[in-house]
Amino acid sequence: MTNRLKFLAAKLIIKIMIVGLVGGIIFSGCAKSSQNYSKNEKQEIISQMYAQYKQGLFPDIADIRINDLKKFSKSDLLYVDIRDKAEQDVSMLPGAITQQQFESHQEQYKNKTIIAYCTIGNRSGRYIKNLNLPDLEVYNLIGGILAWAWANNELVDSNGLTKRVHVYGPKWNLLPDDYLSVY
- Residue 20 pLDDT greater than 80, yes or no: no
> Contact 78/109 with Cβ under 8 angstroms?
yes
**SS3 string of the chain?**
CCHHHHHHHHHHHHHHHHHHHHHHHHHCCCCCCHHHCCHHHHHHHHHHHHHHHHHHHCCCCCEECHHHHHHCCHHHEEEEECCCHHHHHHCECCCCEEHHHHHHCHHHHCCCEEEEECCCCHHHHHHHHHCCCCCCEEEEECCHHHHHHHCCCCEEECCEEECEEECCCHHHCCCCCCCEEEC
- Residue 17 pLDDT greater than 70, yes or no: no
Biggest CA–CA distance in the chain, Å, is 53
Structure confidence at residue 30 (pLDDT): 32
Main-chain dihedrals φ then ψ at residue 124, nearest 5 degrees = -70, -35
Structure confidence at residue 134 (pLDDT): 80
pLDDT per residue over 166-178, tens digit each? 999 999 999 999 9
Sheet holding 63-64, edge to edge: 63-64, 137-141, 113-117, 77-81, 97-98
Structure confidence at residue 27 (pLDDT): 40
Q: pLDDT > 70: what percent of the chain?
A: 81
Q: What is the chain's mean pLDDT, rounded?
A: 87
Rounded Cα distance between 58 and 50, Å, is: 10
Domains with residue ranges and CATH for the chain? 32-182 (3.40.250.10)
Structure confidence at residue 32 (pLDDT): 40
pLDDT per residue over 116-150, tens digit each? 999 999 999 999 999 988 888 999 999 999 999 99
Structure confidence at residue 132 (pLDDT): 82
Which of 34-38, 44-48, 111-115 bottoms out in mean pLDDT, i.e. has the lowest?
34-38
Length of the chain: 183
Name the pLDDT band for 35 (thresholds 50, 70, 90): low
Nearest to 142 by CA among 77, 54, 75, 82: 54
Structure confidence at residue 5 (pLDDT): 53
Structure confidence at residue 119 (pLDDT): 97
